[in-house]
Amino acid sequence: MKRLLIGLAIGFAIGFIAILLSSRRNSAGETTIGRLLADAVDTGLQAATIHERRLWKDFRMRQAAAQAEQGRTARDGRIAESE
């Protein structure tokens, strides 16, 4: 199993280097694979930002609901004590 993984890693590295060396360059001098990787990273960062905003929104909603529940409990407690 270990020999298989080592062979796969070596084959992957050789294939990756061959693709990088044979890839065409555009007029700006960057490779199409480099541009593809940069676009993928940008898209990933945008998705992470959107996800983080959703998480913060959910957190704030839960926090507001918990504070409202605490306020309701505190008011109910005061009413019961005064009766």
pLDDT in tens, 39-79: 889 999 999 999 999 999 999 999 999 998 888 766 665 55
Q: Are 33 and 20 in contact (CB under 8 A)?
A: yes
Whole-angstrom distance, CA of residue 8 vs CA of residue 22: 21
Give the pLDDT of residue 57: 96
**SS3 of 73, please?**
helix
State if pTM tops 0.85: no
**Cα dihedral 28→29→31→32 (10° resolution):** 20
- Predicted confidence at residue 1, as pLDDT, reads 81
Q: pLDDT digit string (tens) for 5-50?
A: 899 999 999 988 887 777 766 666 666 777 778 888 999 999 999 9
* Residues 65, 69, 70: CA angle, nearest 5 degrees: 120
